[in-house]
Homo-oligomer: A and B are copies of this chain.
Amino acid sequence: MVHATTMKEIARQLGVTVSTVSRALQNHPSIGLRTRERVHELAKQLDYVPNPTAINLKRRRTYNIGVVLPALTEQFFSMAISAIEDVAIGKGYSVVVMQSRNDYERERLAISNLVKHGIDGIIVSLASETQNNSHFLEVNKHGIPIVFFDRVAKNMPNSCVYVDLTAGAIEAVEYLVARGLTKIALLNGPGTLQATDERLKGYVTVLNKHGIAISRPYVRSVNLTKEDTAKKMNELLDLDEPPQAILAFNDYVALDAMQVCRQRGLVINQDIHFVSFSNLPFCSYLEQPPIASIEQFPYEMGTKAIQLLLPAIEDPQHYTPEKVIIPYQLIVRE
């Protein structure tokens, strides 16, 4: 059974032409009832499955959507992709995944592979090291729609979905200040990400508002690896005046940093307090989770991303890009 049955085979066995078979299978009215039935019957009997590649060639579509993100193993992204898949499947699309591993070159390659492979549209969350949009401009030139989500590219005309992290950071820091914690450090992400700028902006805003001096050594950026986070956290704890609280770039950074604290004998939520972004489900299993988290609703973001992408694919003429901001929510744990 190495060759699948084709319409040609059905046509041959029935003594009709391929076009008749095609129309019969589509129940086209110009095909006689008798012929239509014979075609359907033989098709079923031969386990006929239409060749999607041939159909795609005519339709000039692949019904594949590429998704490029830093890492599938980060729950934030797997939730987003899960959402994308849920919507896509319902609309007849499949989802092709590629990981950038936060590496610029891998991201370029992933994008290029997707284009070469044939996809109708792309959803991207930037690699932390990406500082150049040329590969995306290339995709735009080919008329393939892109939607950025969460880690969006700066200065690109495409649609994007993200959370207002500045506002989130503001509420988070306000919360810490309100609890009397004023020595607040920021374990921020890579400088290349817009998300990093936004967290910093919120952090600075609140401290300024409350007249709290901003200590340079309190603001550090990590490259999102466990090692770098540990290094930066240790540096913070080695300061003459170590912080009472940490605003972490995301849950992974918070957890890695918390581990350092525990190793140094500090008690979480007592000696030192954490607030982080994402609020991933596994945080609920921790005995001492961050006292507050900013929920970013990855599922909703993924859903919105593909809802923006599909019209761009299906009706490019009437499509205008949109910047969608998903509301965050500060989750406070007792």
Contacts and interface: CB of A to CB of B under 8 A. Distances in A.
Nearest to A289: B285
Interface string A99-136: 10000000001100111111000000000000000000
A57 interface: yes
Interface string A45-60: 0010111111011000
A73 B64 contact: no
Interface stretch (A81-89, A162-170, A228-236): A81-89
A124 to B, nearest CB: 15
Give the interface residue-count category, chain A.
Answer: 35 or more
Interface string A253-287: 00100110010000000000000000001101111
Interface string A288-299: 100000000000
A120 to B, nearest CB: 11
A119 to B, nearest CB: 9
A97 B81 contact: yes
Contact of A49 (B78, B97, B115, B255): B115
A178 interface: no
A212 B196 CA distance: 58
Interface in A20-70: 47, 49-54, 56-57, 62-64
A192 interface: no
A12 B99 CA distance: 39
A251 B113 CA distance: 35
A81 B89 contact: no
A2 to B, nearest CB: 6
Interface of A: 1-2, 4, 47, 49-54, 56-57, 62-64, 71-73, 75, 78-79, 81-82, 85-86, 89, 94-99, 109-110, 113-118, 141-143, 255, 258-259, 262, 281-282, 284-288, 316
18 contacts: A4-B143, A47-B142, A49-B116, A53-B57, A72-B72, A72-B78, A72-B79, A73-B79, A73-B82, A73-B281, A75-B75, A85-B98, A86-B99, A94-B98, A255-B285, A282-B285, A286-B287, A287-B287
Top-3 shortest CB links A-B = A52-B118, A1-B143, A72-B78
